[in-house]
Chain A
Amino acid sequence: MGLTGKISAGIIATIFFLSLFSSFIIPYDPETIELDSLRQPPSLKHPLGTDNKGRDILARVLYGGKISISVSVFAAFLSMGIGLLIGLLSGYFGGKTDMFFMSLVDLVLSFPALLLAVGVSVIFPPGIYTVMIALSSVGWASFARLIRGHVLTLRESSFIEAAKAVGCSHARILSVHLFPQCIPIAFVMTGLKLGGYILTEAALSFLGLGAQPPTATWGSMISANRVFISSAPWMVFSPGVMIAITALCFNLLGDDLREKYDIEKYSIRL
């Protein structure tokens, strides 16, 4: 991993650990309303200021980070799982199975991702699980296409032929012989996509489809505070900076991974 990748991974880890232990670092609770400290600009007492209900923004930003990052990472891995399953089946069996799954992939990819995610998330009551489902119901498609392409090339190789000759069942070939071969590129792809997941998660929470108030997420903090933008810009500023830094680090990390493990050689345009 290059230097940029290492630094980015370090920053992400730092942000996540600060969020995990935010209750030990900051003396304020992210959800307790304090009416005598409304809309205070950044000061020594409140480094990032307070919001419309007197809650400390630093506490909320860190607490929100825990939710935003874990939801995005979880959704990315969920997409990876679905994509792996469908890609393996589609590439290995080919024929009608392949045609069915790949037209589904085309359908998902041809539609604006955010609209699709919004469409999925209104089906369920808003919350973090809904966001995870929405993100992965859109995200699996590109994983499935990548894995399928990889399986197509593997299918013809001699070790699969040998496995067939020995009499391995389809299930065994898929799970023991093909699946482990797909793990590395699936992980690289996850790394590439995480920045996008952070942004889409933020957008969904911004639109009010994520975790509900008083729970803080970066996106919902921006949407709840944007009416005060002219009088108290700090309320909107810091959550946005956090989204941007996290997404930037994930994107840099992804670029680094892309350079190291050239997954374009699997003939997939990302």
Chain B
Amino acid sequence: MKIYVIKKIALLILLLFGITLITFTLTKALPGDPVYNMVGERSSPEIIEKIRKEIGADKGIMRQYIGYVSLLAKGEMGRSYHTNRKVLDDIIMKFPNTLKLAAGAMLIAVPFGVLFGFISALKKNMMIDRFITGMSIAGLSIPVFWSGLMLMLFFSLKLKLLPPSGTGDISYLLLPSITLSLPAMATLVRVTRVTVLDVMNMPFIKTARAKGISERSLNMIHIMKNALIPIITVIGLEFGSYLNGAVLTETIFGWDGIGRFTMEGIIKRDYPVIMGCIIVGTLVVVLINFLVDIIYHYIDPRVRIHGTDR
């Protein structure tokens, strides 16, 4: 277990180096100059030169990269070209908001997704199964930014029950969370259905039935427990899609989180912001995968973590 953790951390550091190096060179080597975006294309050459010196854009790429990494080592991420605020401070301020949104979406998606998927598998090929599968395909096909706008139109503008946009308490959180949870829920329904059907065909279920176990404990203990692992994997993997969805949902609902921050950074070519968000995003995805591995270890004794598997 210890070796596994050490190995994972080493891999994470390597991954971060790789990702920062790639994004860094990509953002620097390609057309589009942040300085023009900062001061406008019609400024005098002297001002442009001065700002270029200020942000260090006059040095070579390698020296800039080394400068950035040593800044990271000091626990800093530099300042935004536009607001001149510390990127790390902004991320620390906005990250809890995105986390709240993702947690809210998960609280809706996980229980309903697993429940509907389970029902769908138990009632295979019956009306209710057809209905649930159909709804889940629809859920995967509706764009998040449109379903969000429709929810906003209905609940905020027509019924005036919830505030249409902004960052704040639970009433602000509800609509974006529902919006974000829809595609995740649809995926979970499909995965749960397939896994439960797989498990139901296994010989030990027949054995359990033959022993005369009640249908209820068969469902709860034998099927659910064995179907849990793929489901947890998907819940973990879906976290990346929450980050995807967060970009759109946060843009629509004016939610002040990382997704919108990244988006604005990218559009304004605010490199310190882009780099900071990419690093945080990678960290989150890797950490979640790590957590999923650990949870495996505890819920399924067949999975042993030696550091060599995977």
Contact = CB atoms under 8 A, between A and B. Distances in A.
B285 A122 contact: no
A118 B149 contact: no
B105 interface: no
A119 B262 CA distance: 10
Contact of B281 (A107, A115, A203, A236): A115
A239 B141 CA distance: 13
Contact of A113 (B146, B244, B252): B244
A96 B286 CA distance: 24
B18 interface: yes
Contacts of B143: 199, 202-203, 206, 219, 222, 240, 243-244, 247
Contacts of B244: 112-115
B149 A123 contact: no
Interface stretch (B52-60, B87-95, B117-125, B263-271): B263-271
B145 A203 contact: yes
Nearest to A113: B244
Given A112-B241, A122-B32, A251-B140, A229 B269 contact: no
B219 interface: no
A229 B141 contact: no
A123 B141 contact: no
A184 interface: no
Contact of B285 (A111, A203, A207): A111
A230 interface: yes
Contact of A123 (B31, B137, B157, B286): B31
Interface in B205-231: none
B146 A207 contact: no
Interface string A221-258: 01100100110010011011001100110111001000
Nearest to A199: B143
Contacts of B251: 207
A127 B274 CA distance: 22
Q: Determine the main DSSP class of A at the interface with B.
A: helix
B152 interface: yes
Which of B143, B240, B278, B281 has most A Cβ within 10 Å?
B143
Nearest to A208: B267
Contact of A199 (B138, B141, B157, B267): B141
Given A230-B153, A252-B137, A112 B243 contact: yes
A64 interface: no
A267 interface: no
Interface in A90-122: 107, 110-115, 118-119, 122
B30 interface: yes
A89 to B, nearest CB: 21
B291 interface: no
B137 A248 contact: yes
Tell me which of B23, B137, B145 has the highest count of chain A C-beta atoms within 10 A of its own C-beta: B145
A111 B274 contact: no
B178 interface: no
B145 A229 contact: no
Interface string A110-149: 1111110011001100000000000000000000000000
B247 A206 contact: no
B282 interface: yes
Interface of B: 15, 18-19, 23, 26, 30-32, 137-138, 140-146, 149-150, 152-153, 157, 240-241, 243-244, 247-248, 251-252, 262-263, 266-267, 269, 274, 278, 281-282, 285-286
List of 5 A-B pairs having minimum Cβ-Cβ separation, nearest first: A240-B146, A247-B141, A248-B141, A114-B244, A112-B243
Given A229-B153, A251-B141, 12 more contacts: A107-B18, A111-B281, A111-B282, A115-B281, A119-B278, A199-B141, A222-B145, A226-B149, A229-B149, A230-B153, A247-B142, A251-B140
22 contacts: A110-B240, A111-B281, A113-B244, A114-B247, A114-B248, A122-B32, A122-B269, A123-B31, A195-B140, A202-B145, A206-B143, A206-B248, A222-B145, A222-B149, A230-B153, A233-B153, A240-B143, A240-B150, A247-B140, A247-B141, A247-B142, A251-B140
